[in-house]
Amino acid sequence: MVLVNLLRRMGIFAVAFVLTAWVAVSAQATPLLLVDMDTGAVLFEQDAGQSWHPASLTKLMTALVTFTAIANGRVDLDTPVIISEHALDVPPSKVGFPVDTGVRMEDALNLLIVKSANDIAVAIAETVSGSEAAFVNEMNEMANVLGLTATHYVNPHGLHDERQVTSARDLAILSLAIQRYYGQYMHIFSTTEVQVGNARLDSNNDLLTHFRGTTGMKTGYVCSSGLNMVATVEREGRRLMAVVLGASSARERGERAAQMIVGALRGQIGNTGLNITQIANRPGSPVDMRPNICGAGAREYVDALEAAFPYGMEGQPSFLTDEIADRSYRVVTLGRIRDVPLPLPRPANAPLLRGSADPLMADAGPGFPLPRPRPN
């Protein structure tokens, strides 16, 4: 209680600096990152190069590879995405359409991002690349093109595999690439609900409905990662991105992201002097949050974090107080589709991107360069 009372007396913005030190000594530190999206400047970072399990933030790369396939003419937004037995067998979260049900690629992408549907992730992978394994190879090739040196994928959905890893730094670069090169799809990441028949499938991104100016992007969770988030906000003439990994609850995840953004807007968080590409990824194994999130010590761990960071709890101040109308998207299935050919697997020596062996830095926009996903 002494710590809680101290934090309350210090005020809502000063708490960030005490919190950083307290979490570092109490348990595994939560990776945090705040980036100016126009310049790539790192405004705040804590353990941004720490290896971490991405959970459903994996679907950001699934989306990027799919957007590139659309740009290359391999598929389009009207291409049928058909649920296979393999896709339906993937554990939840999923939509659960029967085998052979088809949806348009545009509908599938909304289900992928908003619902975070694992079965749809596999179905998209099979549609784009002919098989899940071939698609995962393209995900890893794209990670290489973008210089995501901490990132490796073994599936397109993010269900836990100890080999599937990333970092806050890599997730920020990935998210910046999506916005820079495929901004026409950003409305998908800002959608708050998908309607399928009478069902309403809600996003888990609380900032979209309670933090003014939020434009996306994605949340994720497995026991070993904790609760993860990439959030993008445009407010007061600034475009900011927050990455939070390993939170103990959706409350903590959202409040931490919003706190960093508000701190920057209020001048409480400055500039580290680093560009996002200058953050170094650390070697070593990813942190496993399972004991703290799903293990025997989870209650004690969560209680400690609630005491240290009470924002958003009953009777406490919150950064998420705006009331923003839902942005809905309706999915209409194509019914049961059979004997519709899928794209053939591409030859092993066919590059995903033109120039992928020597990524070009052209047309990178202001501030800083990113390797460019270029259509064939």
Q: Does the pLDDT value for residue 122 go beyond 90? A: yes
pLDDT at 342: 54
Q: Does the pLDDT value for residue 100 go beyond 50? A: yes
Which percentage of the chain shows pLDDT scores above 70? Answer: 82
What is the layout of strands, in order, in the sheet containing 274-275? 214-222, 226-235, 238-247, 32-36, 41-46, 274-275
Sequence ranges of the domains in the chain: 2-331
- 315's enclosing H/E stretch is none
pLDDT at 291: 94
Q: Does the pLDDT value for residue 56 go beyond 70? A: yes
pLDDT band at residue 367 under the 50/70/90 scheme:
low
DSSP state of 335: -
pLDDT at 94: 94
17: Cβ contacts below 8 Å, ≥ 6 apart:
none
Out of 1.10.10.60, 1.10.3720.10, 3.40.50.720, 3.40.710.10, which CATH number does the structure's domain 2-331 have? 3.40.710.10
At position 174, the amino acid (one-letter code) is L
Over residues 303-326, the pLDDT tens digits come to 999 999 999 999 999 999 999 999
pLDDT band at residue 368 under the 50/70/90 scheme:
low
Calpha distance 314→39 (Å, rounded)? 37
What is the layout of strands, in order, in the sheet containing 328-331? 199-202, 193-196, 328-331
- More confident of the two residues 362 and 297: 297
pLDDT at 257: 97
| Torsion sign (Cα): 102, 103, 109, 110 | negative
| Torsion sign (Cα): 194, 195, 199, 200 | positive
At position 104, the amino acid (one-letter code) is R
**Averaged pLDDT, 231-247:** 97
**Cα dihedral 112, 115, 119, 125 in deg (nearest 10):** 10
Report H helices in the chain: 2-10, 15-26, 58-71, 85-88, 105-110, 118-129, 132-145, 168-181, 186-189, 207-210, 250-265, 290-293, 298-308
Q: Does the pLDDT value for residue 67 go beyond 80? A: yes
22: Cβ contacts below 8 Å, ≥ 6 apart:
3, 308
Over residues 200-233, the pLDDT tens digits come to 999 999 999 999 999 999 999 999 999 999 999 9
Average pLDDT, rounded, for the chain:
87
Which residues share a beta bridge with 41? 275
**Averaged pLDDT, 277-299:** 94
Q: How far is CA 327 from the centre of its chain?
A: 19
185: Cβ contacts below 8 Å, ≥ 6 apart:
63, 67, 109, 178
pLDDT band at residue 266 under the 50/70/90 scheme:
very high
Q: Does the pLDDT value for residue 170 go beyond 60? A: yes
Least confident of 20-34, 77-91, 245-259: 20-34
Q: Which residue has the tokens 């194994």?
A: 285
1: Cβ contacts below 8 Å, ≥ 6 apart:
307
Q: Which residue has the tokens 């397109």?
A: 156
pLDDT band at residue 344 under the 50/70/90 scheme:
low
Calpha distance 373→19 (Å, rounded)? 38
- The pTM score is 0.86
pLDDT at 371: 67
Q: Does the pLDDT value for residue 258 go beyond 60? A: yes
pLDDT at 361: 33
